[in-house]
Structure 1
């Protein structure tokens, strides 16, 4: 069962999803308050994308049970920008929106550093620029929940750093709740207020990130959190 409630953010209770005899999500109970930035880590096959698809309402072809509540204004950003190649940049941002959002779409292109590129074609943009358009498209509808499925996974390291800064700024301005699915532990610590670890369909870690200001990977507390998460992911043996 799914219902919508902006004031309560995301709430799941005993959420289960399975394909045939294989259980992908196993009794997930989770609350994400309005405006909170959460990162979700997990090894391949742990169920991260299945959870995101459930929250996005995109998992109609699976068996499921439990309760699920998300805001009605929920938008998704994928690793692939998924721009329409036959539409110019501004039209891509406005896709699915009323024409009354045109000024907001133009303003958002300015926020993501693409002012003046409204009439460019997607194939004229770099990969990082295409993801900037995708972020603008996700935010133009003023979402209460932004779901991001490894949105920077295909970008080079320098572009990713710039996109981290941009995403932090956009979330600060527009204040959606965010669930970011990522394989990158450093990315999760850098961006999120809270990090979850999903293992074999169960949430095994729910860790608040209380670092302040610029999050320096050289900070001992950053490294302590990093080791905790890597241990939970089975990358670093416990006690090492």
Structure 2
């Protein structure tokens, strides 16, 4: 499937987000999903050449569903009009951190780091690492390509949390509850599959020192079990 056809399906879904429309366009959905799965598998394979932590992953274990959980949302649209995947050591799980691919018309980006402010134990571990090894973190985020291209996003406190020295050079980063990166691209970047794969793999690998830093802080951390499990 051509990449522009894949994005074209998502654009149509944005404009026609309903169960009936999806049922009527099931073949197009299946073709677009297969194209995205092939893209994720190729990207995972390229990354595995340089990052053994993501070797041997299967794309089907990395991709998020289009279906939305609307039970607690005022937006009752049944689908998220985006193809999304997390290429990480634990597949879709946010920890250990990995590489996040988000294809959505008008919002194409590559992500890294931790998108998980809801896990205070993980936040605490990273803050401790920052307090102890802030110089290394600053060197990573101040690298020229990183500083120019990657945006650090996530929930953030107004003040340095209690127990940490606000005079530390890295104090601004201690305010974060979640340390996530985004590298935005125009929709047109997706059209050429080979060029997009090269660009995505290069950007992701430039994120790797950031990911490695967070994963070192999170080593041994266990995500809380969902209610009713165990």
TM-score over 0.5 (shorter chain): no
Q: Which has the higher contact order (CA 8 A, sep 6+)?
A: 1
Q: Higher strand proportion, which one?
A: 1
Q: Higher helix proportion, which one?
A: 2
TM-score (norm 2): 0.28
